[in-house]
Structure 1
């Protein structure tokens, strides 16, 4: 039986896993980092050609591991959401890829939430994507206002996935899942939104053809001048977004199962059967597959807070930060932290908000600040879960993944705060695994994503400590109350003093 490859094109790394259906085992993996550039304040970009080169390099490394073994049957893709770039008539980039963390469109997003609030709300309810500088809709509006010639010069505006797909197939196609994350797509009718396009200032002719997440094309070596070392009949499966596939790859398809991911940023999500909308526009709802949607909220502030504590606060390694934080009891003796170092998406959707420590007193040591900071990251994510609860089933178990899952201390803290078991996957590469599982479903091995999720294997499960949970429940209530009061007072707004 031939291998299935899951390629995860993230904003930090390109990773590819090889899965053997005959043994139900991962038999190979390779990855390489991606460079992010910061040309101006609030701007975050990546080079499309560098990402392509990274993909080819990682692919060749993985194929080298599989040499003289079985052939490759399918390559399925998982990619980061919210990237956008302009290409010319030949498909060559005329801009870098502007990625999710780019905030250059703050003014355009703010306008849609204030002066044009009715329009912004209408777009949210049609697309399921909260209005924020991260979404391509707002980035296109920025280009419309600041670089209007670009909108006429570009033949198309595409994501990183579409760029790779074009180089592999010669076709401009975009799956419903990545399209959903642009803020330009109407998932109910599976078409581009005229309402959103009127804000973006572009036409459907400048966008790719919409296809299901299980859409496949045969690999044709001549299209890419044999850049990939493949022989025989290989199918390319377009796949979905990394956030949606992380739910599938984590086995978080059953009701009551919540996925919590903390990498550099973070997210909390559930899989639902019908599209959902939050009346205040605070939750996303993305298409995964027919009858499967992923609803939740992303945070800008995850393990980057741990990185900040290590590099700027203590000037030590992250492991030393975790060890020192563990020396302090739960609750950090009343010290509270609001982790808005890079503005915030959910639950606040405010790019201008900034972090704060509250209730600081003489008794608090550096270790208290470290403990409170790690708790604040989880409190913030759990506050997003509170937004989910009225729309979904109460969380019965959390499937946790991302870099933070390597810290038993931090994962146990999550279980204690949530008061439910936290289960880890056997592999932490949930996006790539989700792509593989989608391919298994597309190839007919299983008939539903529920069956596909049943193939996921798990590692350790962390049980909550009842005493600590009771304590954390009281602290979280205080944390939430202070956030609400402080938000009204604009305590967390970045201020300039002369």
Structure 2
């Protein structure tokens, strides 16, 4: 009796800061065939440091792929393609065989603040020139500044390492045997000339590394087969699987959210957050405050990231109130918009956009006798969104007005918080049917790479949506006044 030929499916893998996740869908995207997730630990060996163990991330990835492979097989499918969405700005040293010589220094690590400050201050002309080439603001998060920190504080590692790369490059090498990086991730390093599509001599000279210590840049649709050493084994992957290198999590979140057209803004709040638009030509902010990453041929994602998103809610629950999230959100909902004058600046972990200041810290303003725990919670939630909208003000100067927001990330699980966003922004807020926008973006990019769709515009039309939240005009007017006071308070506190 002949064994039936399994139907093929696509998998999008999202290597995030807190979890490694994977989503499997058939080519018609009609249903979820499998989903798996494993947590990733962040290490804080000293104040301002944030690191992750690349081997733990590999282990989480292997477990996720094994689980997805089993679920897909039970459904009568086999995996044909796997695409990667990965958190940006990590840096680890490796030997010539891809073995880690260090932990990965991740985006939230601030040890390179002196180097970033130098490129914004004493050597601002150099910082501006690098920004014009690379499209990424000078900040301690970027590998450019982290390498410069190593040059000063650990030159032995800089000399010893055969290779420097991101978490994606470490995983890609383990899977394929090649040191390669997609254009999207490369543009997030501060080392890549996004116009010439090659490593920037200007940035390399400052960082103190050579081009041959970095990966070969490739398009986001670049594919490789699995190398024989990882076929089967712990991952459960078959030799027929093709790997698509994919892009950064921010770029693929935009694609996976269906946010390709002008006027469509994506707002993501997980642990951190970002607000972005997809444009058809590279953009640069005159003051170097917005990023611009490559997504694909003639598609670029421009916007700004924040350090302070869901981590603020985590701080409220774990450190300020010792109450669960459900309780606090319910209490906050009883308070009127504007929190009776209480304002919150959400800079608990320094800030990227719009301030690009690793030293700035949060504050409650106008604290009054009448303010209760519920006020403090609502003001904090409002502060996170006010900060996001202040980034959007910078973005709209370059791209035009926001007409609709596509929202995703952990915050989208709170209808209350999403409605607050609609009321503040004064535009509709749409949720995706799937909250796994990074994985979905990887799958859509796969479909374009193999010819199932011709363009990313066509791919974005396949995205399914859930609920749309319409703004309340009365609350929007009230929030416009509060936002003006919040911005004034920000100016006095920074």
TM-score, reference length from structure 2: 0.97
Deviations along 1:92-132, whole A, 9 cap, x unmatched? 11001110001110111111111111111111111100000
- Distance in 1, Cα, partners of 2:425 & 2:52: 36
- Residue 22 of structure 1: how far off its partner (Å): 4.2
Kept in 2: contact 1:128–1:277 (CA 8 A):
yes
Find the counterpart in structure 2 of residue 11 from structure 1.
17
Query: 1:269 Cα shift?
Result: 0.4
Q: 2:212 aligns with which of 194, 205, 210?
A: 205
- Equivalent of 2:272 in 260, 265, 268: 265
> 1:293 offset after TM fit, Å?
0.5
Residues 73-472 of structure 1 aligned to structure 2 (within 5 Å): 73-222=80-229, 226-231=233-238, 233-472=240-479
* 1:64 lines up with 2:70 in the alignment: yes
CA distance in 2, matches of 1:443, 1:393: 33
Question: Which range moves more in the overlay, 367-376 or 461-470?
Answer: 367-376
| Alpha-carbon distance in 1 for matches of 2:26, 2:81 | 11
- SS of structure 2 residue aligned to 1:483: helix
Partner of 2:4: none
Q: Which of 18, 29, 34 is the aligned partner of 1:28?
A: 34
Q: TM-score of the superposition, structure 1-length normalised?
A: 0.96
* Superposed displacement of residue 28, structure 1: 0.8
Contact 1:167 1:224 (C-alpha < 8 Å) held by counterparts: no
Supply the distance in 1 between the matched residues of 2:239 and 2:158 (Cα, whole angstroms): 41
Secondary structure class of the residue paired with 1:428: coil
Secondary structure, in 3 states, of the residue corresponding to 1:112?
Answer: helix
Structure-2 separation of matches of 1:91 and 1:336:
48
Conserved? CA contact 2:421–2:429, under 8 Å: yes
Q: Which runs of 5+ in 2 are unaligned?
A: 1-6
Determine if contact 2:177/2:227 at 8 Å carries over to the other structure: no
Q: Give the structure 2 partner of residue 496 of structure 1.
A: none
Give the Å deviation of 1:225: 7.3
SS of the residue corresponding to residue 423 of structure 2 reads helix
| Deviation, structure 1 residue 364 | 1.6
2-structure distance, mates of 1:231, 1:340: 46
Cα offset for 1:231?
2.9
User: Structure 1 residues 314, 180: closer, same or farther in 2, change over 3 A?
Assistant: same
The alpha-carbon deviation at position 233 of structure 1 amounts to: 2.0
In 1: Cα distance, 2:478 partner to 2:162 partner = 57
What is the aligned counterpart of 1:40 among 46, 52, 58?
Answer: 46
CA–CA distance in structure 2, aligned partners of residues 231 and 342 of structure 1? 42
**Cα separation, partners in 2 of 1:232 and 1:184, compared to 1, 3 Å:** closer
Distance 2:139 2:119 in 1: 9
In 2, the alpha carbon distance for the partners of 1:355 and 1:59 equals 39
Cα pair 1:170 1:223 within 8 Å, conserved = no
Shift of 1:80: 0.4
Aligned equivalents of 1:480 and 1:237: distance in 2?
A: 43
**How far off is 1:228 after superposition?**
2.8
Note if contact 1:4-1:75 (Cα within 8 Å) is conserved in structure 2: yes
Does structure 1 residue 53 correspond to structure 2 residue 98? Answer: no
Tell me the distance in 1 between the aligned counterparts of 2:31 and 2:366: 50
Work out the number of aligned pairs and report it: 487
Distance 1:224 1:105 in 2: 39
- Write out per-residue CA displacement over residues 404-453 of structure 1, whole angstroms, 9 at most, x where no aligned residue: 00001000000000000000000101000000000001010000000000
